Amino acid sequence: MLRVVGSVVHRIFKLLRRTFIPLAILLFLFTAVLDIHTQNFYNNRVVHVEKYTGGRISGLKRIRCHSWFGNCNQIVERSEDGTQGTDTITWYKIGRELSLDGSSYLDHQAWSSHDYLYVTYADTEGDAVVDVALGDPRSLEPPQYVVKELTKSKLGKAKSRFDVSGHYDLNGWTQLKDGIWVKYGPFESPEAITDITYLFGEDVIEPRPQWNLVDGSLSFHPHHPIRLSFARGVRRRELPKLRLSKDKMFKVLQLSDLHFTSDFGVCLDQKDAVDECHADAKSLAFIHRVIDEESPDLVVYTGDLIDGSRTFDYQTAFLKALSPVISRSIPFAIAMGEHDTSVFASRDVIVEFLTTLPFSTMHRQTQEQWIGNITNYVIPVMSDIDDSLAVSAIYMLDLFEANSPEPLETILHRLYNSLPNKPSMSLEFQHYPIAEYRPRGAFALVGQYNEKTRLKSSRTDKNTRKVLSDIGVQCMSVGSEHTNECCIRSDAQPDQHLKELWMCFGPSVGEGAYGSTAMDRRVRLFKLDSQNNQITTWKRHRDDPSEVFDYQFIQK
């Protein structure tokens, strides 16, 4: 019996000895392959590492991220050259919700994978990327942008870009994958790129100061060209400070219901229809003309800047809609509309993007701040001679913030009490009209009142009229109803402690929004006259932007 047991044990040990080395090799290979995947899964699913948030970079690359990695903010790969004394390199995802193939990580299905653009941070002791160009991914020839730079450089003409050894002498330019070319320079160079992103579409506009739109596009998406945009230098986000002009005036331009997209946009309900009409470009031409005519001190957007249901990339659409004011360094304010959304990004993400834009009066004070305290705000207009004296207040209300912990009355009183003093002239802007915009009986009216459908009470607060009276607002103005462009007077009611209030509409300026074939697109303006304590309003229209009509006094 003992001999049998001993024989079995001997055979087992012999078998283990023969299989140990192959098993060890297989185990080593298995862990070597999966250790990177395990690290990426842990970083993105468990630790929730940060994505790229700006800074000098040394690399730019398209990487396919698997859905089981989660948000894909960081991807660890094996280094091809073993730089930095390690065999791995960490890539940081450029902060976009949209992947290069046009999907959001929120929509990723199990076992799927999607492409994103990633960067590596530059080492302070090494070189950094100072320029980017896009060329043909199938060719080794540098793109025309690089060739033109070499032509202007000390290297001589473009045809002499080969040195005597027969190699390219590209003056710091290096070809990466997918047609991406980068130029390297010293880390401390003022030309070093400090932020980079990508936008979608054939109608991209990059209005932000210090940002540069790269010529050409990446062809990762079959229907939407991908454009790279990068920034140089230190970008400081300063909150605009509004004050009266030297003649004691302050002018506000109201733009409403642009309904821009990340494409050219389709023209709707044209007064003078043409076969080929790009809605967004046509709208922008009108807006540019009005701004040149009026030189406003503030531009107020009363909702639906973009058409979320028809917009592939919300960032591209917002930048295009805001380009006339950002490019002119004009402060702007936004009252959010129901179409200022995206299927690829949450509302919080969209608002966060808007707060980062230059000349935006919407800002985040703390990271813990409730979003409604960002999108509901007041803008004081200060005296031209005394920075501590507010001569006017402009309130911006967001009617589409769900689950508000505060009623509208509390929000407005808090904003009112935050002012350094109680100004004598105040305006309020929001997207959707309140119930008093449907008055009964006879009422004073200036302008066209074409839409009178029943209002949705769930979108407004029944106490708005009284609260606006309590905090001294003389006029409110809304959008939403595209062909209404009138001002309605709500008379004072002393028995209910209600002061007179003018309730105006800002007509739709967007050619891609519904309208009327009998009416061209229009804009509304307001002027605050501190010296005479007057508020006036008027309109301009696309057929003749030089013409002013329906000029009226709101307060005199």
- Residue 130 CA to residue 125 CA, distance in Å, equals 15
> pLDDT averaged over consecutive 10-residue blocks of the chain (556 residues)?
61 66 61 59 66 94 82 81 63 85 58 85 94 92 89 54 50 92 95 95 94 91 86 84 95 98 93 88 97 98 94 95 97 95 89 94 74 87 94 91 75 93 95 93 92 83 92 96 96 91 97 94 97 96 96 92
Return the residue matching tokens 């009276």. 469
- CA–CA separation, 26 and 32 (whole Å): 10
Backbone angles phi and psi of 273, in degrees to 5: -70, 145
Write down the domain spans for the chain.
57-232, 242-555
> In this structure, what token pair is assigned to residue 529?
């006259």
pLDDT at res. 163: 44
* 57-232 maps to CATH 2.100.10: yes
How many whole angstroms from its chain centre is CA 536?
Answer: 32
pLDDT in the model for residue 26: 61
pTM for the model stands at: 0.88
Structure tokens of 3?
Answer: 């001999």
How far is Cα 318 from Cα 280, in angstroms, rounded to an integer? 11
- The encoded tokens of residue 457 equal 């009470």
- Distance between CA atoms of residues 542 and 290, nearest Å: 9
Strands 88-93 and 242-243, sheet pairing: unpaired
Give the containing element (helix H, strand E) for 200. strand 193-200
In the structure encoding, which two tokens stand for residue 59, read together?
């690399």
- By C-alpha distance, which of 363, 553, 524 is closest to 448? 524
Distance, CA of 244 to CA of 385 (rounded, Å): 9
Q: Distance from CA of residue 248 to its chain's centroid?
A: 33
What value, to the nearest 5°, has the Cα angle with vertex 450 and ends 445 and 452?
90
Domains 57-232 and 242-555 share a fold: no
**Residue 86's Cα: distance from chain center in Å?**
37
Structure confidence at residue 84 (pLDDT): 45
The pLDDT, as a whole number, for residue 532 is 94
The values of phi and psi at residue 309, to 5°, are -70, -20
Going by their DSSP bridges, the two strands 180-186 and 501-505 should be labelled as unpaired
Residue 541 bridge partners (DSSP): 522, 544
Under 8 Å between Cβ of 410 and 469 = no
- Residue-level pLDDT at 109: 52
Domain made up of 242-555: CATH architecture: 4-Layer Sandwich (3.60)
The β-bridge partners of 185 are 128
Tell me if residue 380 falls in helix, strand or coil: strand
> Under 8 Å CB-to-CB from 533, ≥6 apart: which residues?
424, 425, 555, 556
- Which helix (H) or strand (E) element contains residue 213? strand 211-213
What's the confidence (pLDDT) of residue 16? 61
* Spatial distance between the Cα atoms of 395 and 298, rounded to a whole number of angstroms: 13
The per-residue pLDDT for 149 is: 84
pLDDT of residue 161: 47
Count of residues making up the chain: 556
Q: Could you tell me the two tokens for 85?
A: 């004394």
Confidence at residue 175, expressed as pLDDT on a 0 to 100 scale: 93
